[in-house]
Chain A
């Protein structure tokens, strides 16, 4: 019983981390049609921001709070300078953001001397439920992920900004004709996606420690999740991320980890074979 509870908790907790990372990627991919290959590095920058606060002697949670705002700002600047030129050319967008990713990654590598830096979690204790240790920080990540997911969903479905965002996605010409500044909407969407990446990086860095390739690991799983879930909706990539995260954490309990790593991809490809548009290819959000 204890072992099962432990397994379920660990699997859910890793699933939540992947969902958190993919949220921003999914929003940018779905709402703007841009595959942001620098997303992993935005996650890294979120982690780096937290590290900066920590190294200045400020509390870690303050860095985590600041990270999404710092990343929103960076996202906004990058969108104005570079990303906006890519909307019409998705292939160039991939290459451009990939280049951006390399620049960010290598800069951070230089700044931290290519080393691994440990950052303590704001909560270090564990809850003990019937002999099973549940680290509080992982519980916090589960809760924050759920809140952010719900918040993003409500923003897109229940607010007028969400409505304009979806309008700009579905029919940019008509949206512009109706007086919506798609230009501004795109900039804000990109900043919002970047902020989510920053938050993800800030929250997971105590678990994985800070290193320059932190984002790379998530990028592949992130894109797999978006492919699996389907582009064009908010719910799709999130569902995809849930499946990929849970699969990657659950399979090693049952089979050899090296095989599990491959099997995650095989399962994802088989699903996409039967649902080429992704799990959720049509929908309002």
Chain B
């Protein structure tokens, strides 16, 4: 290296300097991390070092509204837990990483949580593709616990992965018989072409058929399709009673609009969609989705009869006023349950070691969460919870049915 003559030609010098400058800048950005937030523990000492809670969620990108709600819930809970003395005498320190609605951005960011920050647990991921992209980094290579908070298609049965959102059994077993009673027997399954609708529909079809209904057609569309005239015409011609929709935004807005314009609801048709919560209500004009039925673990309307849910919702709104809502479809309620169940498990295990926490998390219970209490089903790594059926009326939901006890997830 040393014997090489230095190139001092005018063209080379500035570009090399510029290269060094930009390298330094990039290195700096990589080291501090773009899209990382740390909320340090309010107190800590040698005897009680903080417990590190990692949140990996979509703060930016297409589903940023959901990821921000999840991060807000984590901030609120960690603050509450710390104010009450922490967990096993130690404060919680929150590490939030942006998964940016983009799997290729997410994986390196999640690696930061594991390798740089050495978090004790990771909660997050909203879409199934995100969960699949980040789970190995957390569980296999990272040897860390992973809690997935979103409603999903089920079948996630790996060890050390705990799911706190509703499963197809929880969303369909009661809902579909209700739809048959309050809509009719002829179902259509218009769906976005990705894993969640495919697997959910396979389950829903069984329930429809077992309940005496019939799936007249099941059809998949590209994720960004925005014209549904052919589908709407089929729904009208086939005299469909219930549209069990898994088309997602951006397509779902124009689809529901076209259905309304074709006179589906006027004719007595029932619209249903199991991810519809308070966030998605605004996609259409209220009259276009009047009567839409959804089945989730929490709706704002539950607050009227459940003081615990009302208290949590009020606290959230006080801390995070604005457009980012605490709603079930964006995994915010699953995130709430996830953090609480994990904290209960750590308290029981008196440790943050993975094996010990996992053993305690296996049967963890909490009495308070949005929508009602929740408990893990021992050996199944999924969560029992109360479920609600709500119907959209004039731009809000009204609760039509509520489960007696906690419904079994029937997974793994």
Q: List residues of chain A with CB under 8 Å of any chain B CB.
A: 3, 6-7, 10-11, 13-14, 106, 109, 112-118, 120, 126, 133, 135, 207-209, 211-214, 216-217, 248-249, 252-253, 256-258, 261
Inter-chain contact A257/B250, CB cutoff 8 Å: no
Q: List residues of chain B with CB under 8 Å of any chain A CB.
A: 60, 62-65, 68, 193, 219-222, 224-227, 229-231, 233, 237, 249-250, 253-254, 257, 261-263, 279-280, 282-285, 288, 322-324
Give the residue of A3, A14, A126, A258 whose beta carbon is less than 8 angstroms from that of B222: A258
Given contacts A109-B64, A113-B323, 14 further A-B contacts (CB under 8 A): A6-B229, A114-B68, A116-B249, A116-B280, A116-B283, A118-B253, A118-B285, A207-B254, A209-B253, A213-B62, A249-B227, A257-B219, A257-B221, A258-B221
Nearest A residue to B221 by beta-carbon distance? A257
A268 to chain B, nearest CB (A): 16
Inter-chain contact B222/A257, CB cutoff 8 Å: yes
Give the residue of A113, A126, A253 whose beta carbon is less than 8 angstroms from that of B65: A113
Please give, as numbers and ranges, the residues of chain A lying within 8 Å of B249 by CB-CB distance.
116, 211
B197 to chain A, nearest CB (A): 12
Nearest A residue to B65 by beta-carbon distance? A114
B46 to chain A, nearest CB (A): 42
Residue among A126, A135, A257 with most chain B CB within 10 A:
A257
Complex: how many Å from CA A213 to CA B224? Answer: 10
Inter-chain contact A115/B261, CB cutoff 8 Å: no
Complex: how many Å from CA A217 to CA B250? Answer: 9
Give the residue of A10, A113, A135, A209 whose beta carbon is less than 8 angstroms from that of B324: A113
Nearest B residue to A109 by beta-carbon distance? B64
Please give, as numbers and ranges, the residues of chain A lying within 8 Å of B230 by CB-CB distance.
7, 10, 249, 252-253, 257
Identify 22 residue pairs between A and B in the complex whose beta-carbon atoms are under 8 Å apart, listed by A's number: A3-B237, A6-B233, A13-B229, A14-B227, A114-B68, A116-B280, A116-B283, A118-B253, A118-B282, A118-B284, A120-B285, A133-B263, A207-B254, A209-B250, A209-B283, A209-B284, A212-B62, A217-B250, A253-B233, A256-B219, A257-B230, A258-B193
Complex: how many Å from CA A126 to CA B202? Answer: 37
B224 to chain A, nearest CB (A): 5
Please give, as numbers and ranges, the residues of chain B lying within 8 Å of A211 by CB-CB distance.
249-250
B326 to chain A, nearest CB (A): 14
B360 to chain A, nearest CB (A): 36
Give the residue of B193, B233, B250, B323 whose beta carbon is less than 8 angstroms from that of A214: B250
Please give, as numbers and ranges, the residues of chain B lying within 8 Å of A214 by CB-CB distance.
250
A113 to chain B, nearest CB (A): 4
Complex: how many Å from CA A112 to CA B282? Answer: 12
B33 to chain A, nearest CB (A): 19
A37 to chain B, nearest CB (A): 17
Nearest A residue to B287 by beta-carbon distance? A124
Nearest A residue to B228 by beta-carbon distance? A252
B60 to chain A, nearest CB (A): 8
Complex: how many Å from CA A208 to CA B62? Answer: 16
Complex: how many Å from CA A253 to CA B230? Answer: 5
Complex: how many Å from CA A211 to CA B221? Answer: 20
Give the residue of A118, A209, A253, A257 whose beta carbon is less than 8 angstroms from that of B225: A257
B346 to chain A, nearest CB (A): 32
Inter-chain contact A116/B224, CB cutoff 8 Å: no
Inter-chain contact A261/B222, CB cutoff 8 Å: yes
Nearest A residue to B224 by beta-carbon distance? A217
Please give, as numbers and ranges, the residues of chain A lying within 8 Å of B231 by CB-CB distance.
252, 257
Inter-chain contact B221/A208, CB cutoff 8 Å: no
Inter-chain contact B261/A126, CB cutoff 8 Å: yes
Nearest A residue to B286 by beta-carbon distance? A118
Please give, as numbers and ranges, the residues of chain B lying within 8 Å of A114 by CB-CB distance.
62-65, 68
Complex: how many Å from CA A216 to CA B229? Answer: 21
Nearest A residue to B395 by beta-carbon distance? A118
